[in-house]
Structure formats: C-alpha cells, structure tokens
Amino acid sequence: MGRNAHHCKTQARSISQGMEKLFEELDYRETPIGPIALRRRKLIGLDTIIYEVILGDEHLMSSLFTASEIALAHLGIEALADTKDPLDIVVGGLGLGYTAGAVLEHANVASLKVVELLPAIIDWHAQGLLPLDPPLSADDRCEIIAGDFFALAESEQGFEPSETGFPVGKKYHAILIDIDHTPDWLLDARSGSFYSGAGLKKLARHLRRGGVMGLWSDAREDAAFTERLGRVFSEAWAQPVEFHNPLQDKAFVQTVYLGRTSVEQN
C-alpha cells in the first residue's frame, strides 16, 4: 500500500489549561481498516503525558501501557539464548515502536525488519511525533517496511525476496507479532486465517532451525491456542505479563505466546 493511498487530514484540535495543552489530536487519517488518530494528552491525576492511537471508536494502544509489548521482544530473544550467531529479527506491527525499540536493546541483534500496514503510523515515526527515545531511525540495524504482514507471512518469499533464486526467501531467528488484540479478537478479518494451524505453519517456514515465533495478546492465556501452537512448533508455551494499571489501581495480565521450531527441521 503506497503512502499516497490515504487522504491525510492533520487536526489542529487541542484543549488547553493556561499555556499547557491538555489534549492534542496530532494526526487523523482515513485508512482501509477505519479512521486512525494519534492523540497526545495529559493525565492530570498522574501528572504524565501519554500518546494514544484510536482506530474508529476503539482505543488501540497507549504509551501508558507498554510492559507486554516490551516483554514480547525480550522473551522472544531470551528464547534464543543458545543461538551464537548474530540475530535477524522480524517484528509484525510498528505501533508506537516499543517492541522494535526493545529488540534493538540487544547487542546480538544484527538486523530488524518491522512490517507495518498503515502508512500513517510509519509517517508518525518519520516525523518524530512519538515519544520513543531513541527513535528507531537512530539505529541503522532497523528497517521499516510498508506492507501487509499477514500476506507476507503466507507467501513463499516471505519478508525479503530471495537473492539466490530459490522460491523461499530469507529465514529469521525470530518473528514477533503485535497486531491484533488476541488470536480471535482481530483488527481486520483478513488476518483471521493466520492464527489457524495452516497459517502458523506458513509462518514457521520463514524461521531458522530453532527459531522463535512470539505473539502478543491483550488477554490471559487461551489454552486452546497454546495447544494449537504446540501442533505446529516443537515447543510452545504462554508467558503471562502482569503490570499495574494506574488508571484502575489494580494489576492487569496480558500474554506473550511463544513457539520454537525444531533444531532439526529442514
């Protein structure tokens, strides 16, 4: 999808208290999966600034809650502890950039490809509208690709066309995904087949021997999905990630699913 495929309408809307802006809508665009907006606002009770992404009427992501997105990166790479080679990683879904940023904290990462469907989100990073520090553009190991992660995962070429002439492209040490809310709570119905056994097998083709798939979920473990992973990967497990929700003053649990391919696979 090209960057010019979407009509861009940047909003100047803001609410101020004295000289301080309590709310700003930094950008608003129409996209094939609904209108998306980037907002910056101050939570007076917590005395903190947050950035949030709204898709339609749905709250999609917030810089206030990043623990599990960061854990996705660390858990996926920690599962590769026995791998001595420099790591090649793919992240599906750019978002506010916290998963990608956490991947780049690891010195043994040689390259990172981040696949993002929506040009608006790519533009927000390029324009410096987001709070990630350092920005992803500061690290030359990171490449952001405009594309449909699920279509690339399903394809034989994968995330990088083969330079050797073989039908299957480059294989990666880890593919980490943070796109849908859960395997059965989707942002867009087109991604649904990815979470089937057949879809997961197609993804696994793009992993190296002993490679790791990681998947973020905005819910506690779904044992049926973990079992499905276990039928595709040689090892599969779910890691709960608990963090404090200051807005509700209580603990909240999300999940990172992990699957590892056999070290003996072709």
Closest CA relative to residue 52, chosen from 126, 129, 136: 129
Residues 250, 223 share a domain: yes
**Strand 250-260 relative to strand 235-245, pairing:** antiparallel
Q: What pLDDT, on a 0 to 100 scale, did the predictor assign at position 9?
A: 37
Overall number of domains in the chain:
2
CB 79 within 8 A of CB 252: no
Question: pLDDT of 98-110, one tens digit each?
Answer: 999 999 999 999 9
Alpha carbon distances (Å) from 149 to 96, 104, 107, 203: 17, 20, 25, 10
Whether residue 265 is contained in a domain is answered as no
Tokens at residue 89, please? Answer: 């990683």
Return the bridge partners of 236, or none. Answer: 259
Q: Mark the ranges of the chain whose per-residue pLDDT is less than 50.
A: 1-12, 164, 166, 266
Q: What pLDDT, on a 0 to 100 scale, did the predictor assign at position 168?
A: 55
Residues 37, 75 share a domain: no
Residues 80, 20 share a domain: no
Whether residue 125 is contained in a domain is answered as yes
Residues 58, 81 share a domain: no
Question: pLDDT of 131-182, one tens digit each?
Answer: 999 999 999 999 999 999 999 999 988 998 655 454 557 899 999 999 999 9
Q: What pLDDT, on a 0 to 100 scale, did the predictor assign at position 115?
A: 97
Residues 155, 73 share a domain: yes
Instruction: Mention every residue, 6+ apart, whose C-beta is less than 8 A from residue 167.
Output: 156, 157
Q: What pLDDT, on a 0 to 100 scale, did the predictor assign at position 264?
A: 79
Using CB atoms within 10 Å of the CB of residue 62, give its burial: 0 to 12 exposed, 13 to 18 middle, 19+ buried: middle
Residues 36, 134 share a domain: no
CA 253 to centroid of chain Cα atoms: 18
Residue where the block lists tokens 């594309």: 147
